[in-house]
Amino acid sequence: MAVIRTQVAIIGAGPAGLILCHLLRLRGIDSVVLEARSRQHIEERVRAGVLEQGTVDLLNDAGLGERMRREGLAHRGITVRFSGMSRYIDFQRLVGKTVTVYGQQEVVRDLVAAALAAGTHLQFEVAGVSVHELSGPRPVIRYRDRAGADAELHCDFIAGCDGFHGVCRASIPAGELRFYERDYPFAWLGVLAHSPPVADELIYANHQRGFALFSMRSPQVTRLYLQCRPDEDLAQWPDERIWEELERRLEGEQPPPLPRGEVFQKSVTPMRSFVTEPMQYGRLFLAGDAAHIVPPTGAKGLNLAAADVRALSFALAQFYESGSLQSLANYSKRCLRRIWLAQRFSWWMTAMLHRFEQHSEFERRVQLAELDYVTGSHAGATSLAENYVGLPFED
């Protein structure tokens, strides 16, 4: 059996795990990254696409932003469409910041390439991962490598960046964690199409028939979403029906034109809010989707993962510089404040923009009044802008 020794073992090669390994490398801390999926799978998996200003700055400061600066789309605001009219929220004017549209799969491609170029020990297609001795000073990870050989990874700390269904959170003893969660009574039907975007920036639409989001991945590829049932059958949504429904949810006063093109991907995304407290146990620290899930309306998932590992990298650096465990002990407390603020914003955006079947006509009118206030008031629009572009990192 192969035995490997490292300082930090990272389980999961999504954005959280890969950003963490780079931040640790910049501080001279050795890590090994284990990923259950293939390199092709993680580089082609379409997820989030809106990066907060802080995430962009973090990637640039880590030397990971060259292609993002070249190909990413800087957006200074969003349009909110309701009652057949459009109102623009100008982030740049309101809070002096922007967001960048750059797909998660593109971020992951950049991170993988940089990791391999730096000689990072990055293993794909590992299986049978299990974690042991979490409460002691030397945790152990057992797994089978790509060739099917058994291996052990000995480390000082484990970073659980393996997603909502990963092994890390599930390995923490029962009773040590508390979970807060909410499932929403709708989902998003998402499509990618070879067509120009509806507009230069995102349009969020609240419509009587349900929510719609008009986004993009590039000037040639559009990303579109429709509110649907959580159990929606994609077979009932041929391309023509999707385009017709998108046009309906854009209708009203001066609707922008909706270019059509080849739909090359369809999926249904359930809507969930989930938080784990605490985000650590012994020498295991959870980050990203392993610790929390937000509904995508607020564009916070990848950004929260980046914030988590930024905090974790600082805490680990303090340990290796001074031997102090104080920052690691405070990791959960530090991250959870930001996470709950992001959960609040994501819940608020979701509640304000979606159609709830159980709502009375009174509640529907209140929802429209909320949209009218937020988009028509300087104070309301500033609050939305401040949260959307990302709250400042805590030092």
75 as an active site residue: the answer is yes
Task: Answer for the pair 312, 285: CB distance below 8 angstroms, yes or no.
Answer: yes
Task: Answer for the pair 392, 54: CB distance below 8 angstroms, yes or no.
Answer: yes
Distance of CA 148 to the CA centre of its chain: 32
The model carries a pTM of: 0.95
Does 92 fall in a domain?
no
Residues 6+ apart with CB under 8 A from 344: none
Q: Which residues pair with 9 in a beta bridge?
A: 32, 158
* pLDDT value at 156 more than 90: yes
- Based on the structure, what is the number of domains in the chain? 1
| Active-site hit among 204, 225, 281, 331 | 204
* pLDDT value at 271 more than 80: yes
Question: H helices then E strands: how many in the chain?
Answer: 13, 21
| Active-site hit among 15, 22, 75, 207 | 75
Q: What is the DSSP letter of 165?
A: T
What is the CATH number for 11?
3.50.50.60
Does 6 fall in a domain?
yes
Percentage of the residues of the chain whose pLDDT score is greater than 90: 94
Does 240 fall in a domain?
no
The parent domain of residue 32 ranges over 2-73+104-180+272-349
Residue type, 72: G
Token pair belonging to 93: 């004017």
Does 301 fall in a domain?
yes
In degrees to the nearest 10, what's the CA dihedral of 146, 147, 148, 152?
-70
Does 307 fall in a domain?
yes
18-77: pLDDT as tens digits: 999 999 999 999 999 999 999 999 988 877 789 999 999 999 999 999 999 999 999 999
| Active-site hit among 139, 197, 295, 296 | 296
157-204: pLDDT as tens digits: 999 999 999 999 999 999 999 999 999 999 999 999 999 999 999 999
Please report where in the chains the tokens 């001074």 appear, as a residue. Answer: 322
296 as an active site residue: the answer is yes
102-151: pLDDT as tens digits: 989 999 999 999 999 999 999 999 999 999 999 999 999 999 999 999 99
Question: Which pLDDT score is estimated for 49?
Answer: 86
Does 378 fall in a domain?
no
Does 94 fall in a domain?
no
Does 139 fall in a domain?
yes
| Active-site hit among 22, 207, 292, 300 | 300
